[in-house]
Amino acid sequence: DTAVSQTPKYLVTQMGNDKSIKCEQNLGHDTMYWYKQDSKKFLKIMFSYNNKELIINETVPNRFSPKSPDKAHLNLHINSLELGDSAVYFCASSQAPGGYRETQYFGPGTRLLVL
Amino acid sequence: GDSVTQMEGPVTLSEEAFLTINCTYTATGYPSLFWYVQYPGEGLQLLLKATKADDKGSNKGFEATYRKETTSFHLEKGSVQVSDSAVYFCALIGIQGAQKLVFGQGTRLTINP
């Protein structure tokens, strides 16, 4: 009965590779997000989609490309991985109608290590 | 832009001690305020929230009150347990623009038996 799930949980790869992280939510939410947590635990928004439409795109390198095939899924593709991309990536989802009052529910995270 | 400042960690306490983790924010109007908790090796869980001034959020013995006059949302618990050891994040969602959580830097809490 996982609400927000991510795969894989761990990802170890070499510099220069391309990788994808998948996220799925079964909460019926309209909005999904990607956050990045760095080595100092600091969390920052990367992207947000509402009903498959991109609504937030923070200053993220264009090597990162989100894709939302439907409103229950939001994937993150990363090209040409760099050492600095090593982090924990969290997917989250929320309802749209309540706007800024809505709670965002987080997945378990994907721990990416670039060697 | 919107921002959140939390007290520096790490914080180490003995079991049954009183806990306060300070959080202040800068934002336009009345943002929604949240406390999330991250247990070791896990994702973020909502601990509590408040969406308007003077609201008190509470859960699992933790409380925080939305104070507009001091732009604060301090987290408190009367008697901590070893199982409360985690990283705690204060966050807000602003009233303007898209719904994005703006996080504080996190406070690592360790409770010793």
pLDDT tens by residue, A104-115 = 999 999 999 999
A97 pLDDT tier (thresholds 50, 70, 90): low
pLDDT tens, A6-19?
999 999 999 999 99
pLDDT value, residue B99: 83
With contact defined as beta carbons under 8 Å apart, do A8 and A20 qualify?
A: no
- Residues of A with Cβ-Cβ distance to B94 under 8 angstroms: 100
- Average pLDDT, integer, range A87-98: 87
**Nearest residue of A to residue B32 by CA position?**
A101
What's the gap in Å between the CA of B103 and the closest CA on chain A?
A: 6
Give yes or no for residue A1 having a pLDDT over 90: no
d(CA A81, CA A85): 7
pLDDT value, residue B95: 85
pLDDT value, residue A98: 63
d(CA B104, CA B92): 9
- Residues of B with Cβ-Cβ distance to A41 under 8 angstroms: 38, 87, 105-106, 108
- Residues of A with Cβ-Cβ distance to B28 under 8 angstroms: none
Digitized pLDDT (tens) for each residue of chain B, 113 residues in all: 899 999 888 999 999 999 999 999 999 889 999 999 999 888 999 999 999 999 999 999 999 999 999 999 999 999 999 999 999 999 999 887 778 999 999 999 999 99
Q: Tell me whether residues B49 and A103 touch, CB distance under 8 A.
A: yes
pLDDT tens, A78-92?
999 999 999 999 999
- Enumerate long-range contacts of B35-38, CB under 8 Å, 24 or more apart: B35/B62, B35/B64, B35/B73, B35/B75, B35/B88, B35/B89, B35/B90, B35/B91, B36/A106, B36/B88, B36/B89, B36/B91, B36/B103, B37/B86, B37/B87, B37/B88, B37/B89, B38/A41, B38/B86, B38/B87, B38/B88, B38/B89, B38/B106
**Nearest residue of B to residue A110 by CA position?**
B43
What's the gap in Å between the CA of B98 and the closest CA on chain A?
A: 7
Give yes or no for residue A2 having a pLDDT over 90: no
